[in-house]
Amino acid sequence: MPKIPVRVVSWQEIVDWSYGLAERIIDSGYRVDVIIAIARGGLVPSRILADRLGVVDVISLKVEHWVQTASRNPEARIKYPYSVDLSGKNVLIVDDIADTGDSLILAKDYAKRNFNPKEIRTATLQVITQTTKYVPDYYYLEVKDWAWFMYPWNYWEDVINLVKKLKDSGVNIKNLEELKRAYVDSYGSHPPIDLNIIIDEMKRRGEF
């Protein structure tokens, strides 16, 4: 059975962490003109930061790296490349977490080459110092031991993927009690959505 430490993050934590991150940006004196949200993880934090910092211009870059919960592609890439003129602008690139740091490295390099901004800084809610190759200019929480953070915008996708991992390892997911036991045993936390509801949704999606 897979052993992956999973930590469920609440909506309230996301708001608190985003506000905390905004304070650090304000304290540094950096005046942000444009936020680039890395999709999809940076979308919600970007919107909260934009509100707190008073930033009207929020755009997005779709980076593909971790395609499935706790399983990643070897290489990060920009899925829908485009160019835009940000000359004279102070840019903030935002993501939820820096794990390998590849998404931020790629997005920063891409924005520098294609958007021509005055300055680029980066911000994440969390950084895993043990694993990242790149530490963002601003972050709110430093994570010492690697875990998969189940953010509230990802509950359905993550729980479904984690159930699939159990199925692939031989757990009989038709037996709800066995599934529940195996889930907690493998991931060290309870699912934020009832597993019987998840199974119904997997059936609806044709993934059961």
Q: Which residues, in sequence order, are CB contacts of 45 under 8 Å at separation 6+? A: 14, 17, 18, 21, 37, 94, 95, 96, 124, 125
Q: At what angle do helices 176-187 and 195-204 cross, to 10 degrees?
A: 110
Interaction mask 99-118, ligand AMP, x per CB under 6 A: xxxxx---------------
- Strand, coil or helix: 23: helix
The region of 11-19, 27-35, 96-104, 189-197 touching ligand AMP under the rule CB under 6 A is: 96-104
Choices 95-103, 109-117, 175-183, 190-198; region in contact with ligand AMP by CB under 6 A = 95-103
- Other CB atoms within 10 A of residue 153 CB: 17
Report helix, strand or coil for 143: strand
Closest CA to 106 of 142, 72, 130, 133: 133
> In the complex, what is the shortest distance from the CB of residue 187 to ligand AMP, in angstroms, rounded to a whole number?
12
| CB 201 to ligand AMP: min, Å | 21
Packing angle, helices 155-168 and 176-187, rounded to 10:
100
Contact status, residue 126 vs residue 98, Cβ threshold 8 Å: yes
By residue count, the chain amounts to 208
CB of 68 to ligand AMP, least distance (A): 10
Write out the binding residues for ligand AMP, residues 148-187 only, by CB under 6 A: 148-149
Distance of CA 32 to the CA centre of its chain: 21
- If one asks whether residue 41 binds ligand AMP (CB under 6 A), the answer comes out as yes
**Is residue 35 at the binding interface for ligand AMP, with CB under 6 A as the rule?**
no
98 part of the interface to ligand AMP, by CB under 6 A? yes
Dist. CA 99–CA 30, nearest whole Å: 24
Indicate whether 76 belongs to the interface with ligand AMP (CB under 6 A).
Answer: yes
Contact stretch for ligand AMP (CB under 6 A) within 45-53, 81-89, 93-101, 175-183:
93-101
Answer yes or no whether residue 96 interacts with ligand AMP by CB under 6 A.
yes
Residue closest to ligand AMP, measured at CB:
41
Instruction: Return the number of the residue (9 or 166) whose C-beta is nearest ligand AMP.
Output: 9
The site for ligand AMP (CB under 6 A) is made up of 41, 65-66, 76, 95-103, 148-149
